[in-house]
Amino acid sequence: MQWPTHGSNPQYLYESFNMSLPKKYIDFSVNTNPFGPPKIIGERWHEWIDAINDYPDPKTISLKQKLANKDGVAEESILVGNGGAELITLIARMLQEKRVLIVQPAFSEYEAACRASRCHIFYHLLQEGDWELDVDVLLSKLAHVDAIFLCTPNNPTGVTYSKAALLKLLQLCNEKNVHVIVDEAFYDFYAEYSSLVTYITKFPNLIIIRSLTKMYAIAGIRLGYVISQPKTIQKLAAFQPHWSVNALALKIGEVSIEQSAYVKKTQNYIMNERERIFRTLKELQFIVSTSKVNFYLMKDPHTHDQLPLFRFLLKKGIIPRHTANFPGIEGRWLRLAVKQAEDHNQLAEALTEWRKQS
């Protein structure tokens, strides 16, 4: 069957199963903030309507200044883009026909974008279950590649890699002139996350991808940014079309990144609610990944193939994210987002029924 490439848009998933989309459903495949966008966006929306009359700032100066101040980097080290997908595409274009290593499992867009740029793709598969980044195991592969992609916190596992391992990898790659692309799209869901941003000035091979659509629940707007040394930013910007980021996205981005209380509230909720649903899942004898963010992997250890469970949940109007297109796990797990408490209660009810009949 033809699996949908990403989560969300559940109508395509149900079509692939020849099933009708139920009138009521809970989409656990979407890993954006369960609180929805910050209230200030709705409150100020009417102020921004005039912004659609003119072209947006192609240099995104105002938002870039705010991001630079927030992250403690130079404005010249930031490139704002139309969501993470565009930024990944720009990086892939810069790496055209190069040899690229992807630490798997990982966001499928890395491979898709690099293949479109005729890159030669190689995998480093993490050990299933703990997904620990062992740099020593990677050593033999670094001599044969030009760039390495990884995401931390990892999508789909939610696991974070140790700072020591990442710094060791950065140093080794820098010595071998290998670009290290680190996707931190979900970093702000984990209050104790230690970013690599402070190492931008030290490592010219480091490229960090950030998303604003996840934390601020503005996936329909499309907004993200890259942090790297100015020379790399200039190379990436050369591939970006003018007016890539629309005027409304720029306005929304500026106010969103000022919502520190909203972010803190989200972090606390995610931590507490994730642990609550984990306790329930473990009581029902399901296995979950050691996630630190707003999504996690889950599987029923009593069956190798999770497809029957996947179908069962779809019939109940509960939509997980399949993992068929994640190398290294190929459907042996389901990914679920951390949602509202009532949503989790319905998930627990459905899984309790599954457990009774399995």
Residue-range domains of the chain with CATH: 10-30+261-357 (3.90.1150.10), 55-256 (3.40.640.10)
Tokens of residue 305, six digits:
């193939």
Asked if pLDDT for residue 27 goes beyond 80, the answer is yes
pLDDT of residue 5: 67
Q: What is the pLDDT of residues 282-333, one digit of tens each?
A: 999 999 999 999 999 999 999 888 999 999 999 999 999 989 889 999 889 9
Residue of 238, 265, 235 whose CA lies nearest to 36: 265
What is residue 63's DSSP assignment? H
Q: What is the pLDDT of residues 106-139, one digit of tens each?
A: 999 999 999 999 999 999 999 999 899 999 999 8
Residue 180 φ then ψ, to 5°: -115, 110
CA distance 217 to 85: 16
| Global pTM value | 0.95
pLDDT of residue 9: 75
In sequence order, the 6+-apart residues with CB closer than 8 A to the CB of 269 are 34, 35
pLDDT of residue 338: 98
